[in-house]
Amino acid sequence: MDKERFRTLFQDRLIQDVAQQKIDIVLSGQYGKALELLRDAEATGLFPALVGPPGVGKTILCRYFASLRAKEKKGRNFHWLTMDESIKPSHFIGSFDPAITLKHGFTIEAFNPGPLLSAMLEGGTFLANEINRATEYSQNTLLEPLEEASIGIPHLGRIQADEDFFFICAMNPEELSGTHRLSEALKDRIKVWIKLTYPEKATELDIIRINLPEQFMVEESELELIYSVIEETRKNKIDIEVPASIRAGIAIAKLLGRRRYLESKGIVEDEESVYVHLADISKHVLLGSIKPKPGVKVENIIDGIINKTLGG
């Protein structure tokens, strides 16, 4: 791709204003309460944490909350960073461009700000996503911003955060593999703990519905079957470490909806029952959507779930 085409496409796709983003979200059940707690935390100057298994909607809830803030406070941006063990303090704060630094030294022009620093300067929302996958060393980068609303930039000085700066962190339950213990110092600075679990059936079905393209809609009876497959992965705590998330249900529904669309256009013939279609689709989706316990074959788990919910 040539530079001019890259520039044009990048500018066309650049998200200029988080307030203008269309975010499809369901706010019934636990999600409405969680949003209310986020607003309460913001109003009282307390920093919140969203805690829940993968795929329960922590990130999209934060994005929606940030869009509300942006609508109320013009020009307020949303910055986020997803953690893992490779994250270093410079990923939060920023770093100096080596080439410019060699020419001009450690000047502000040579510095590329990171997402945390940008949010602090702009008064935006910063999400530390999957924070307990970062090491304690990297977690400690957040101590001064959360306690003093300031942060030190090597060679440049210390800045005070805009009064509208707001911090949120999201994390998986500590018992999941790949997580680190949250440092006691950081835990002490997080004062509002919001727990999210897999939603109630009605809420989850609503989430699946709003994520289906209009041309790929499925019948209500088919949604019920899809939910039964997903729910069964959550019941099996003996063989499954991480069950299927809401995303898996959306994926199954989209693939089935695509099949229904092709049938309606006469592109393919409906020669088999919905149970057969769903069984085949579910196997392909669940293969990468559940994490088995050590020593258990994921294919055996899936076959058992399909046999129990769809009859093989």
**Per-residue pLDDT tens over the stretch 199-214:** 999 999 999 999 999 8
Pick the CATH number of 201-310 from 3.30.559, 3.40.50, 1.10.8, 3.40.1350: 1.10.8
**Residue range 81-97, pLDDT digits in tens:** 999 999 999 999 999 99
- Chain-centre distance for alpha carbon 85: 18
Question: What's this model's pTM, rounded to 2 decimal places?
Answer: 0.88
**What CATH number does the domain located at 3-195 have?**
3.40.50.300
Which residue is associated with the tokens 């502000």?
Answer: 108
Measured from the Cβ of residue 199, the count of other Cβ atoms closer than 10 Å reads 19
Domain spans of the chain?
3-195, 201-310
Average pLDDT rounded to a whole number, residues 232-261: 94
Which residue is associated with the tokens 């129990």?
Answer: 308
Residue 110, helix vs strand vs coil = helix
Q: Among the listed ranges 6-20, 74-88, 92-106, which one has the minimum average pLDDT value? A: 6-20
Q: Do 208 and 248 contact (CB within 8 A), yes or no?
A: no
Rounded to the nearest 10 degrees, the angle between the axes of helix 274-286 and helix 298-310 is 160
Q: Return all residues near 247 (Cβ < 8 A) that are at least 6 apart.
A: 55, 289
